[in-house]
Amino acid sequence: MTEKKLLKRIIIDPKIMLGKPVIKGTRLTVEIIVEKIAYGETIEDLKKDYPFLTEDDIKAALLYAAKLLSHEEVYAA
């Protein structure tokens, strides 16, 4: 699946989860998906916990987070 198609799976709507990025058609935030993966959950674990999720949804959340971070400015401490 192309980057553009993956990113279309993520929406931002002020009426859903206070405007946080979510998987389209759900109230599941990108933040929750990324955090669960950071704590060691696998794609299969996430699909069991959230049966409506697809592998492409999870990939879309990770790609969205990566793209968001690529635009951050880094300052030396």
Q: Give the burial class of 37: count Cβ atoms within 10 A of its Cβ; 0-12 exposed, 13-18 middle, 19 or more buried.
A: middle
Q: What is the pLDDT of residues 11-52, one digit of tens each?
A: 999 999 999 999 999 999 999 999 999 999 999 999 999 999
| pLDDT tier, 1 (very low <50, low <70, confident <90, very high otherwise) | confident
Sign for the pseudo-dihedral over CA of 17, 74, 72, 1? negative
| pTM as predicted | 0.89
The domains found in the chain, sorted by start residue, are 3-70 (1.10.10.10)
